[in-house]
Structure 1
Amino acid sequence: MKIFHQLFLLVLLSGSILLPDESHAQLKKYQFEQLDSLQNIQKRKVIVFIHTDWCKYCQAMENTSLKNKDIIEELNSNFYYIDLNAEEKKIILYKKYSFSFKPTGNHTGINDLAKELATVDGQISYPTLCFLNDKGEIIFQQTNYMTSIKFIEILKNVH
């Protein structure tokens, strides 16, 4: 019985060690459908992170730069952040338009809104950060993986 209690205590302690630290800031994510209402309350620039599930650079950015405490604080304080999977199949309503998924081949395709926001010089690359003003106009686009240092530099220049 004593071994059972020790094992239970060990499992309990291990579980608490593995739980996420609640003191870390969480990145606030919004949907396009919310932007008009949010802009009526407080005008802010919008940052759209356009990515795919298969893009290793997108995943790397999600696991590094987008988990950086300073970046999260800056995004939460001064921007509306939207996470957009370019291959999103649901219809996205934004600025009185409906953006839908368009197949580009067998089991592949792109949402029209992702295509609109991630096209730079006629090319789409992932990841893309698209900065919009409070009216929804593109003011800056940055393609490819960004380190936290580069991301912070861009946020300071765009803010």
Structure 2
Amino acid sequence: MQAQRTEIAWIGFEDLEDSLKVKAKPVVLYFYTDWCVYCKKMDKNAFRDPEVISTVNQDFYAVKMNAESTEPVDFEGQTFINEQAKVQRNGVHQIPQMLATREDKPISFPVVMVLDKNFRVEKRSFEYLTSEKMRLLIKG
């Protein structure tokens, strides 16, 4: 019997690409920033909830990314960068821009997304999620 993990097994986009080649599975994406108070609150609450941890680790690949990262990310044969960081403070990386931008509003954090095993967006949340709301978001 495997011991119960006490935290989510977060991976990066490069690891996700390798993992998806081995086994197709739905994905939970979490975009945060260092200055986001609600992101920190979710890290302490929703992402520490034993049921959330168990479900995410068992049923999903979990990707956590600082949306303001200046590190290049290689994914699906492309390199994604943070172009905005060259010209503005708190510039947002290309990956969250592509996946988490809404037509009518600027990007805001935290962003939690659920993608199916074919990497299509199923659910998106642009607000603080309590443990209960997070459990509902990741439910099948």
Q: TM-score range by the shorter chain?
A: 0.7 to 0.9
Q: Which has the larger radius of gyration?
A: 1
1:23 to partner: Cα distance: 6.9
Matching residue of 1:151: 134
The one of 2, 7, 10 equivalent to 1:29 is: 10
Matching residue of 1:108: 90
**TM-score, length basis structure 2:** 0.88
3-state SS, counterpart of residue 108 of structure 1: coil
Q: Which runs of 5 or more structure 1 residues have no equivalent in the other structure?
A: 1-21
Q: Which runs of 5 or more structure 2 residues have no equivalent in the other structure?
A: none
Matching residue of 2:114: 131
Matching residue of 1:62: 43
Equivalent residues of 1:120, 1:141 under 8 A apart = no
Following the alignment from structure 1 to structure 2, what is the Cα–Cα distance between the partners of residues 45 and 35? 11
Higher RCO structure (Cα 8 Å, ≥6 apart):
2
* Coordinate RMSD, CA, aligned: 1.8
More helix per residue: 1
Q: How many residues align?
A: 136
More strand per residue: 1
Following the alignment from structure 1 to structure 2, what is the Cα–Cα distance between the partners of residues 108 and 146? 23
State, as a whole percentage, how many aligned pairs show the same letter: 24
1:39 to partner: Cα distance: 1.8
Following the alignment from structure 1 to structure 2, what is the Cα–Cα distance between the partners of residues 135 and 96? 16
**TM-score, length basis structure 1:** 0.78
